[in-house]
Amino acid sequence: MQLTQLTTIFLAILTPTIIKPAVGKVNSKSAIIEDIVEYKDFKKLLRTKTNVLVLFSSNGKQSAEQIRVFKETADAVKGTGTMVLMDCSQAEKKKLCKKLKVNPEPVALKHYKDGDFHKDYDRQMSVTSMVNFMRDPAGDLPWEEDPVGKDVIHFGDYASFIKHLKKDIRPMLVMFYVPWCGFCKRLKPDFSKAATELKSEGYLLAGMDVERQENALARRVYNITGFPTIIYFENGKFKQIYEGDNNKDGIMAFMRDPSSVTIKKPKELEWSADTNSEIVHLTKQGFEPALKDEKSVLVMFYAPWCGHCKRMKPEYEKAALEMKQKNVPGVLAALDATKESAIAEQYKVKGYPTIKYFVNGQFKFDVNVRDADKIIEFMKDPKEPPPPPPPEKSWEEEEDTEVVFLNDQNFATTLKRKKHALVMFYAPWCGHCKSTKPEFNAAAKALKDDSRMILAAVDCTRDNAVCSQHDVRGYPTIKYFSYLKTKQEYNGGRKREDFIAYMKKANDIVPKAKTEQHEEL
């Protein structure tokens, strides 16, 4: 979907529920718990709350600023975490602070997770840092808080990113990433160093964590399915996806002169080579030994070149990490079916990805889950799914359509003979494509008697060469062609009448243009 077609930006606004502490009371102006005095009440709180941050203070006047930040954070994380303020200078609380072996000078912040002490808070004393910590206390230091990344622009939400593109036209390279991605972690230091060295030359390097809900729209707009995805912007506009060397020198050379650098796609590392992965990678020799003692295993049979596998891979990784953090029983495993074809044949793998469930090495049934949330939900309660519905007919197989279907072989030969052609480049799984399809069908039917015009479609998951040739970067992309010599983006509406009006207007304009050209000659 093109950025210019978005008329409204929907941002998810979380509406948290107010925390009702098990003990003590909540200040009417804050979500902070302040009235815990007894050790038994503190332990009871830790049993009922899984994510607790405590600020211990010894001098209210000296720690006034830290307490202010702490209280603001408490309001921001309601429903996500629990904030406790413990004034150890008060006589009734001195005993509790001593029992907990805390001696604040003047403050100490300690985090408790799942009923036990987890770690000392070691981030910046700011609302943003504290909120990030409470969202993921066991996670790595966010990139925007790492001093090494001080010269990288960090977009906290998609709205601020769009605002920046409108007002700052300097060349900018944006790395779209997720915190758990191993490849992203390895690239961040080089990306940060490049940002520092290029800053004085007027080039911008930026980052956006697209796992955050407030940045979800960026994933849809730029069709981001793998991480990191690095995109180059110039004059506030999308220019191209960066596919050069993933190191400081490669990034700097590209930014200084994008046109002179050969953009080559780096050799993709094998999935099993990712040392940060929580996925168990299986081989023919280790397949049975690895599974026989495991009570619950999900195995993803994949091919490295498979687009659907690439889209599922980050979700599978995310699910494995969450299962580890939340102690969800079971193992997520993967097997490269192109390398271990004998195993794939043994289990009748016909397409990719194929997901199969095993118990103690015994195959039980196939599973159709590809999103992290659905994978975790299944592993919590593994049940055989109901029989799948009959497969949906492809658009090309539908009988009641006048759309002409093009592919890598017939695209050029067909369009060279057509005065007016409107071509929809699509993917069968794309929701926007599905909603546009009936309107496109209706327009094709209305124009079927005019031999000068066709409405055509290309399945980019099958015929990706022609889609790449015509710079298709999102779905659906609709382009107008005239004898294959004239080409322009279609940015109109997506209703039947919009397509018809556009084609009729093109028919009125093109002959006139040809006549004027003939008279000049």
Positions marked active-site: 306, 309, 430, 433
Residue type (1 letter), 450: D
DSSP notation for 452-506: TEEEEEEETTT-HHHHHHTT--SSSEEEEEETTTEEEE--S--SHHHHHHHHHHH
Q: Residues 420, 503: contact at Cβ < 8 Å?
A: yes
What letter does residue 242 receive in the DSSP assignment?
-
Specify the 3-state DSSP secondary structure of 53.
strand
- Contacts of 320-326 with CB under 8 Å at 24 or more apart are 320/277, 320/278, 320/279, 321/180, 321/278, 322/372, 322/376, 323/278, 323/376, 323/379, 324/278, 325/138, 326/376
Strands of 280-281's sheet in order across: 280-281, 331-336, 297-302, 354-359, 362-367
How, if at all, do strands 153-154 and 107-113 pair? unpaired
Closest residue by Cα to residue 278 from 141, 136, 182: 182
Phi, psi of 323 (to 5 degrees): -60, -40
Peptide bond into 476 cis (omega under 30): yes
Closest residue by Cα to residue 418 from 430, 433, 408, 406: 406
* Burial class (CB within 10 angstroms; exposed 0-12, middle 13-18, buried 19+) of 281: middle
For residue 64, the tally of other CB atoms under 10 A from its CB is 11
How, if at all, do strands 172-177 and 204-209 pair? parallel
For residue 460, the tally of other CB atoms under 10 A from its CB is 24
DSSP notation for 1-37: --GGG----------PPPP--SSS-B-TT-S-B----
Tokens of 210: 């697209």
For residue 437, the tally of other CB atoms under 10 A from its CB is 21
- Spatial CB neighbours of 141, under 8 Å, sequence gap ≥ 6: 123
C-alpha–C-alpha distance, residues 208 and 515, integer Å? 51
* Burial class (CB within 10 angstroms; exposed 0-12, middle 13-18, buried 19+) of 225: middle
Q: Residues 264, 244: contact at Cβ < 8 Å?
A: yes
Q: Residues 330, 322: contact at Cβ < 8 Å?
A: no
CA atoms within 13 A on the CB side of 247: 4
